[in-house]
Amino acid sequence: MQNVKITIQYDGTDFHGWQVQSSLRTVQGELTRVLALLDSRVVTVHGAGRTDAGVHAEGQVASFFLEREFEPRALRDAINGNLDRDVRVFDVEFADDSFNARSSAKLKTYRYHIWTGDVVSPFLRRYVHHHRGQVDVDAMRRAAAQLIGAHDFGAFTVATPEVKQTVRNLMRLDVEPRGESLLIIAAADGFLRYMVRTIVGTLMDVGRGRLSADHVSGLLATRDRADAGPTAPACGLTLVRVDY
């Protein structure tokens, strides 16, 4: 058997997230369907990040074992030939048997794109969160700096039975204005559900003056989701890359 590592891009607008769900279209579900056709059996697909409904990916990574032998380019083309055009495999390589796209990941990087102009181009609307008007970028940066490092991010997620540990090491949280775009780039060893989007919503509340920059450090201590900002819309979030 071959352990296959693939790099994928997708427009998450019309997907109900990454993870397989009964009767709903998901990225993992589409890959599982196609690989079953190619390998004549049920193939288990592991993804580096379980992106939520509406979240996009430029550098998602997945891995799976195949019994049938393929050349990398032939496998890429065979998978893409059976997928809709909003998801594409860009790279295929064979990995050591111990490699797993999720558990082997060392760093995941997400980008959140906010559009602050009065009008959003129809070519951007599926990939940005529209917030008209300026925000206090310096205050947002001061708040973001307090979140860097290994912390309990319980205030920035939702409680789920399967997640017992809410400590994550956030290594990067940049706030970058670029014309009418405001980019928030986050990199960590792992992320909790809605974590990036809740951080973004909290930083935006700081930028709008609804929360103080110092309020953010208190959230790490209280772990109270009710004290954090809203969960930013999924459309602005993209999984940029996964490092191993």
CA angle 212, 217, 218 (to 5 degrees): 85
Cβ neighbours of residue 21 under 8 Å, at least 6 residues apart? 29
Rounded to 5°, angle at Cα 164 from 240 and 100: 45
Q: Which two tokens stand for residue 126?
A: 């599926």
Q: What angle do CA 85, 90, 96 make, to 5 degrees?
A: 135
Contact 153, 167 (CB under 8 A): yes
Closest CA to 9 of 70, 80, 64: 80
- The C-alpha atoms of residue 233 and residue 231 are separated, in whole angstroms, by 6
Q: Which of 202, 143, 224, 186 lies closest to 49, judged by CA? A: 186
**What's the CA gap between 146 and 139, in Å, rounded?**
11
The 8-class DSSP code of residue 156 comes to G
Active site residues: 52
Which residues 6+ apart lie within 8 Å of 212 measured at CB? 139, 206
What's the rounded Cα separation, in Å, for the pair 1 and 95?
A: 11
